[in-house]
């Protein structure tokens, strides 16, 4: 029995070897070759991107190329694509010595993830039964970006503590789980979730939090010198925030129904985001003894309104209803950074580097609840007879708005279950001593996996600014300046 315990301890708490010279190229080459083969076997252009578009137009009495879905969807795709590769990447550059990894690993797993997502989502949603191939167009690549967003959210919880090989493995399983839970929620339950409060944010948030819990590092304090931001790193992170904030209306409306649904989704998201900014500033100032703002809150909580309105974005939630959702989310998310993040790290052993619980998980859950309530209270007097059928896709069914609300709530439960159970399974896989993850005293440091400029190779005295996870010290206990010099 004693030998068994020793073996288990050696398995989970092995010495760290961060050399990924073999494992990372092997994973990248093998998986990319696999993508090429799978795309060659399964993936084809759909009728709107194929060279037979002219014949298709004649057969369906389409008079203009402007009716091709590309011209409706591509502007939104551009915005979503910028959010994935620029917004998410730069939002995670707040760590003082981890900017290369934040942007670089975001780039890597997103580029791999969109390919795997096109296959996984294609097998579930776009498989042509006549020839067994996946037909892709502009809406498919938008949905692939959405799928990858859930993995980037999970990356935020593990930021600084995982190797690029671990992140690739996490993305492989994360995309697979996402495709299954999305199919259940959208195709089997017929729930509506245009902006992904359930499928993207709730799933991605709890998937990442559970992985972080499984990968808990009791000695992470050994890297405390690097677990925080400096002035310039927070400037880069707020740039990511602004990109996300500006383009979030496109994110929530990108795959909504053409016409009034897409129009309404953009307006509702626009208003919710604006309200969440104002209340985030208010709570951030109110929480500090001298009313000073915390950049952590401004970088993150200001986006919570867009997350929470994802499910109900195309519903008739009304403009003032959108403002209420944004108002509540700004408070909830900022409160999470102030109180819940320190509590979760201390008592629940969840080390959430980016605070995804406060920006994605909680607002995503709230968004699912808002969507369920809004659907259950829908009526023909508000939507009109045809509008009610179109928004909730009730044509040919006997489902009532009340029943639709119940299915929306079931969708939240499915996303939550897949996030927690899937995260536990993937977390156990990532704990295996195979992936080249950093030691506890080597976390949050680019030098582990990147060649750095010569002047950055050794760490000089660093101005310690703030830490996303620190519990605030009363102003009376610190000097007038927010900065302190720390020796390496």
Q: Are 94 and 230 in contact (CB under 8 A)?
A: no
Q: How would you classify the pairing of strands 484-486 and 462-464?
A: antiparallel
Q: Please give the Cα distance from 114 to 351 (Å, whole number).
A: 27
Tell me what pLDDT residue 454 has: 78
Percent pLDDT > 70 in the chain is: 90
Phi, psi of 7 (to 5 degrees): -65, -45
Helix 138-158 with 203-214: angle, nearest 10 deg:
30
**Where does 116-254 show beta strands of DSSP type E?**
127-128, 133-136
Least confident window among 148-152, 277-281, 286-290:
286-290
How many other C-beta atoms can be found within 10 angstroms of the C-beta atom of residue 319?
A: 13
Average pLDDT value over all residues in the chain: 91
User: Coil, strand or helix: which one is 276?
Assistant: helix
Which of 249-258, 299-308, 380-389, 399-408 comes out lowest in average pLDDT?
Answer: 380-389
Q: Supply the pLDDT for residue 388.
A: 87
Instruction: Tell me the mean pLDDT in the region 358-382.
Output: 96
What pLDDT, on the 0 to 100 scale, is given for residue 452? 93
DSSP annotation of 189 reads S
Burial class (CB in 10 A: 0-12, 13-18, 19+), 415: buried
Degrees, nearest 5: CA angle 90-301-267: 90
pLDDT in tens, 163-190: 999 999 999 999 999 999 999 999 999 9
pTM of the model: 0.91
Q: Which spans in 354-443 are helix H?
A: 356, 362-376, 380-383, 385-392, 401-430
Backbone angles phi, psi at 340, to 5 degrees: -70, -40
Which of the four pLDDT bands, split at 50, 70 and 90, describes residue 395?
low
Structure tokens that stand for 332 in this block: 């909830």
Q: How many residues does the chain have?
A: 488
CB neighbour list of residue 480: distance below 8 Å, 6 or more residues apart: none
d(CA 482, CA 488): 19
Q: Kindly give, in sequence order, each residue whose CB lies less than 8 Å from that of residue 260, ignoring residues fewer than 6 positions away.
A: 387
Judge contact between 77 and 254, C-beta under 8 A: yes
Read off the tokens for 79.
């915005």
Residue 338 scores a pLDDT above 50:
yes
Crossing angle of helices 203-214 and 362-376, rounded to 10°: 150
* Cα–Cα distance list, 259 to 72, 190, 314 (Å): 10, 21, 11
Least confident of 2-6, 118-122, 299-303: 2-6
Helical packing angle, 138-158 and 164-183, nearest 10°: 130
Q: Which residues pair with 127 in a beta bridge?
A: 134
Alpha helix (H) residue ranges in 83-162: 88-91, 99-121, 138-158
pLDDT at 70 over 70: yes
Q: How confident is the model at residue 455 (pLDDT cuts 50, 70, 90)?
A: low
Q: Is the separation of the CB atoms in 454 and 25 below 8 Å?
A: no
Q: Which pLDDT tens digit goes with each residue over 33-61? A: 999 999 999 999 999 999 999 999 999 99
pLDDT at position 396 is 63
Rounded distance between C-alpha atoms, residue 12 and residue 19, angstroms: 18
Name the nearest CA neighbour of 469 among 357, 372, 382, 377: 357
DSSP bridge partners of 43: 134
pLDDT band at 15 (very low <50, low <70, confident <90, very high): low
* Residue with more model confidence, 462 or 206: 206
Angstrom distance (rounded) from CA 435 to CA 181: 27
Lowest pLDDT segment from 226-235, 320-329, 364-373, 462-471 = 462-471
337 in Cβ contact with 301 (< 8 Å): yes
Q: Look up residue 56 and give its two tokens.
A: 């298709």
Beta-bridged to residue 136, according to DSSP, are 45
Cβ neighbors of 100 (< 8 A, separation 6 or more) are 446, 450, 452
- Which residue shows structure tokens 């959210």? 153
């Amino acid at each position: 029995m004693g030998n068994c315990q020793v073996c288990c301890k050696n398995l989970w708490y092995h010495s760290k070897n961060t050399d990924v010279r073999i494992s990372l190229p092997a994973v990248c080459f093998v998986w990319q070759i696999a993508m090429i083969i799978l795309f060659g076997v399964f993936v084809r252009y759909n009728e709107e991107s194929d060279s037979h578009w002219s014949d298709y137009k004649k057969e369906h009495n389409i008079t203009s190329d402007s009716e091709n879905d590309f011209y409706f969807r591509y502007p939104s795709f551009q915005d979503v694509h910028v959010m994935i590769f620029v917004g998410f990447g730069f939002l995670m550059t707040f760590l003082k010595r981890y900017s290369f990894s934040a942007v670089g690993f975001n780039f890597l797993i997103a580029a791999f993830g969109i390919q795997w997502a096109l296959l996984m989502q294609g097998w579930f949603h776009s498989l042509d039964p006549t020839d067994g191939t996946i037909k892709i167009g502009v809406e498919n690549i938008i949905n692939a970006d959405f799928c990858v967003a859930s993995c980037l959210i999970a990356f935020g919880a593990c930021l600084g503590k995982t190797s690029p090989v671990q992140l690739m493995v996490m993305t492989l399983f994360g995309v697979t789980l996402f495709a299954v839970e999305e199919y259940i929620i959208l195709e089997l339950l017929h729930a509506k979730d245009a902006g992904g409060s359930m499928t993207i944010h709730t799933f991605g948030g709890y998937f990442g939090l559970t992985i972080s819990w499984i990968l808990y590092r009791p000695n992470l304090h050994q890297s405390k010198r690097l677990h925080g931001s400096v002035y310039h790193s927070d400037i880069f992170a707020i740039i990511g925030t602004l990109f996300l904030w500006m383009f979030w209306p496109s994110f929530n409306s990108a795959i909504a129904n053409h016409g009034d649904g897409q129009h309404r989704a953009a307006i509702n998201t626009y208003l919710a985001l604006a309200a969440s900014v104002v209340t985030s500033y208010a709570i951030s100032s109110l929480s500090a003894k001298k009313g000073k703002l915390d950049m952590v809150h401004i970088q993150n909580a200001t986006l919570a309104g867009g997350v929470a309105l994802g499910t109900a974005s195309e519903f008739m939630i009304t403009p003032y209803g959108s403002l209420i959702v944004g108002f509540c989310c700004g408070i909830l998310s900022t409160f999470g950074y102030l109180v819940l993040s320190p509590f979760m790290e201390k008592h629940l052993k969840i080390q959430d580097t980016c605070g995804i619980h406060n920006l994605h998980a909680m607002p995503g859950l709230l968004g699912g609840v808002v969507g369920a309530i809004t659907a259950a209270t829908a009526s023909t007097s508000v939507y009109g007879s045809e509008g009610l059928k179109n928004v909730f896709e009730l044509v040919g069914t006997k489902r009532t708005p009340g029943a639709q609300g119940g299915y929306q709530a079931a969708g939240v439960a499915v996303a939550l279950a897949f996030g927690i159970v899937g995260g536990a399974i993937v977390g156990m896989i990532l704990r295996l001593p195979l992936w080249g993850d950093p030691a506890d005293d080597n976390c949050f440091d680019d030098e582990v996996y990147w060649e750095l400029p010569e002047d950055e190779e050794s760490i000089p005295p660093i101005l310690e600014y703030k830490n996303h996870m620190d519990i605030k010290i009363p102003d009376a206990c610190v000097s007038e300046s927010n900065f302190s010099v720390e020796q390496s």
